[in-house]
Amino acid sequence: MIFHKKYIVPLLFSCVIWSVGFGVIPVNAADSGRQPMADDYCVDDNGDRIVPDPDADGDGVLDCYDCCPNDPNKTDTDVCGCGKPDTDTDLDGYPDCIEACDNDPYKTTPGLCGCGEPDTDMDGDGTPNCLDVCFEDPDKITPGTCDCGVPDTDVDNDGVPDCKDGCLHDPNKSAPGLCGCGVVDSDTDTDGDGIIDCNDQCPDDANKVSPDSCGCGIADIDTDGDGTLDCHDGCSEDATKTVPGTCGCGVADTDSDGDGTADCHDICSQDPAKSEPGACGCGVADTDADDNGIADCLEQTGGAPDPFPWILFMQNFRSPCGETPTYCYMVADGDNYNSENSAFLKYDFETGKLDLIGRLGVGMVEAIAIGPDGETLYAANEGTLGIINTTTGAFTPIKPGGIGSGNGALGLITFDDIDALSFDPTTNILYGSNRRYDGQPHGVDLLVKIDHVKGEVIKGGFGPGLDYVIIDTSGVNLFDTDDLAFDTRGNLYGIATISGGGGGDRLMVIDKLSGRIIDHGALQNNGAPVQDMEGLTFYHGNILYGTTGYEFALQGTSNSLYKLNSATGAAQSVLRLDRSFNGYVPKDFEAIACPVCR
């Protein structure tokens, strides 16, 4: 069938064959809607068959049926048009002619990363991995200074990011240097211990670089080895105590008789009924059965009612002891010539005469005591016991070289400064006190027993391994013991003081077994303090005598003889002793000894 029209649109082709003015018109195929067959041919506008059959590209399809008559590879324009194959190299469904990435099955356009590389944004920061060096860091696309995964923050704004800043909170430093962050570097070493101050927590203490337990300036030592450092130990020299307790350091708070008063304050430590000897002494009650004002222990009747009214006639009886001793010996270890040759003097109470008997030949005698025989005068020159010739004043050592050393609470001590001597009339044992440190805290003196025949310390005098006990005067804030004096009942008195002008002298009673004390009050004369009491001796009843040294001259109490009340510490001046003997003036009266009236 022949169509005499200007154009025809085959049903099975995507192109349109135009016939404008002149051209060809397919016969049969176009009309039937089928593919061209061998017997098809082309006609011109007049309907005449074109001979030969036109096939410009030689592809076997007549030009009138070939939408691409010049393309031997195509008969239809398809997607790419004539002259371009509809090849899909990467098999992604898009022919190469319409995609820019014909070898990339995942892309049709280069995108940001180009063909062959996906535009993946792993960290979701809006920059694809191909352009993001830090593709796993949403905060960075380049490493910067700190590298991927580490922010380039600069907390202290010093221009050095934190990742490179060894002192990230110090704007002045990026490395610790000598002194560390936050501290300006300096090589100052104030205490000269080799550690610069900025690294030395104790910059003023050459022995420490850190406070440790005791703090700077205080050594972490444990003197007594009790496991408590001295800085926390109230008794740094007493291994059994860390606080003074009732009795003070060096003295146990023992209450032997269970009376509620510690032995250190209990002169009668073995008598639960008494803490002071009273009239009858320890172990004997001060009862007065007949209520006559005299303790039973002092009455021949023992307190039983006496049918004879002795009390009516008592005023007619006088004590065999006078109001004063007959005489007293004294030693002064100073003079107006600074001769260091102690003076020996004797005062006669009946005549009121003070005589210079002689010079001792030594210069450090600070204690004297009349022996049990009532005649021999013993003296201590530093640590040596000797005898004074009461006619000439010459001092003769009993054992040259001193009384020796001994063990006790403070370890081994050499007894080289005996400051007091007194015989116990109940045992005839000579007691002495050894000075440790004049006027120094924690330097309290020691009580010793001395063999007056051998001139040496009695070993174990206070128990096995105890050759001395501490005279603990720390409870009255005094540290030295100036002289001792036993009364006739065996009670031991002493003077507590601070040597070297410290003053504050007090009368005390000392437990001769333990060294514990009971304070009997300040030495005072009509309310005024009596200071620097160096010598002490007992006479009778409650009467003591004492001598003063050269301190406190402005108070008028120096170099004097005093009468003392053993119960109250009240003092009564007897006379001045610093008199001139042909121009020689003795001073600093260290010791006194008077015969005891029994």
pTM over 0.75: no
- What CA–CA distances, in Å, run from 192 to 9, 195, 209? 112, 7, 11
Confidence band of 298 (pLDDT split at 50, 70, 90): low
Report cis status (omega within 30 of 0) of the bond before 52: yes
The answer to whether residue 376 sits within a structural domain is: yes
More confident residue, 311 or 486: 486
Q: What is the rounded average pLDDT of the residues 286-303?
A: 69
Q: What is the rounded average pLDDT of the residues 211-240?
A: 92
Please tell me the number of Cα atoms within 13 Å of 36 on its side-chain side. Answer: 21
Q: In angstroms, rounded to a whole number, what is the distance separating the alpha carbons of residues 428 and 412?
A: 26
Q: In angstroms, rounded to a whole number, what is the distance separating the alpha carbons of residues 401 and 346?
A: 28
Pick from 400, 462, 407, 405: which is nearest to 431 by CA?
A: 462
In the structure encoding, which two tokens stand for residue 125, read together? 């920061």
Predicted pLDDT of residue 296:
75
The answer to whether residue 17 sits within a structural domain is: no
More confident residue, 144 or 404: 404
The answer to whether residue 261 sits within a structural domain is: no
Q: In angstroms, rounded to a whole number, what is the distance separating the alpha carbons of residues 440 and 434?
A: 14
Say how many domains are in the chain. Answer: 1
Predicted pLDDT of residue 438:
63
- Among all chains, which residue has been given the structure tokens 């099955």? 105
Q: In angstroms, rounded to a whole number, what is the distance separating the alpha carbons of residues 588 and 81?
A: 141
- Asked if 594 and 327 count as a contact pair (C-beta separation under 8 A), the reply is yes
Q: What are the beta bridge partners of residue 355? A: 346
Q: What is the rounded average pLDDT of the residues 157-180?
A: 89
For residue range 518-530, list pLDDT tens digits in order.
Answer: 999 999 998 899 9
- Asked if 449 and 431 count as a contact pair (C-beta separation under 8 A), the reply is yes
Predicted pLDDT of residue 313:
44
- Among all chains, which residue has been given the structure tokens 């080799």? 194
- Asked if 202 and 210 count as a contact pair (C-beta separation under 8 A), the reply is yes
For residue 297, which phi and psi values (nearest 5 degrees)?
-65, -20
Of 205-219, 233-247, 317-331, 511-525, minimum mean pLDDT range: 317-331
Q: What are the beta bridge partners of residue 434? A: 418, 446
- Asked if 579 and 562 count as a contact pair (C-beta separation under 8 A), the reply is no
Where are any strands of DSSP class E within 19-114?
A: 25-27, 41-43
The answer to whether residue 20 sits within a structural domain is: no
Residue 370: in which H helix or E strand, if any? strand 365-370
Q: What is the rounded average pLDDT of the residues 123-127?
A: 89
Pairing verdict, β 353-359 and 41-43: unpaired
Q: What is the rounded average pLDDT of the residues 37-45?
A: 73
The answer to whether residue 453 sits within a structural domain is: yes
For residue range 415-434, list pLDDT tens digits in order.
Answer: 999 999 999 999 999 999 99
The whole-angstrom distance between residue 326's C-alpha and the CA centroid of its chain comes to 61
Residue ranges making up the domain that contains 475: 327-593
SS3 43: strand
CATH of the domain at 579: 2.110.10.10
Predicted pLDDT of residue 335:
94
For residue range 53-65, list pLDDT tens digits in order.
Answer: 888 888 888 888 8
Share of the chain above pLDDT 70, in %: 87
The answer to whether residue 111 sits within a structural domain is: no
The answer to whether residue 166 sits within a structural domain is: no
User: Has residue 309 got a pLDDT over 90?
Assistant: no
Confidence band of 442 (pLDDT split at 50, 70, 90): low
Q: What is the mean pLDDT of the chain?
A: 85
Confidence band of 389 (pLDDT split at 50, 70, 90): very high
Number of residues assigned to the chain: 598
- What CA–CA distances, in Å, run from 128 to 112, 115, 116, 137, 329? 8, 14, 14, 12, 116
Confidence band of 581 (pLDDT split at 50, 70, 90): very high
The answer to whether residue 104 sits within a structural domain is: no
- Among all chains, which residue has been given the structure tokens 């002259």? 83
Intra-chain end-to-end CA distance of the chain, in Å: 181
User: Has residue 12 got a pLDDT over 70?
Assistant: no
- What CA–CA distances, in Å, run from 412 to 6, 185, 251, 447? 145, 51, 17, 14
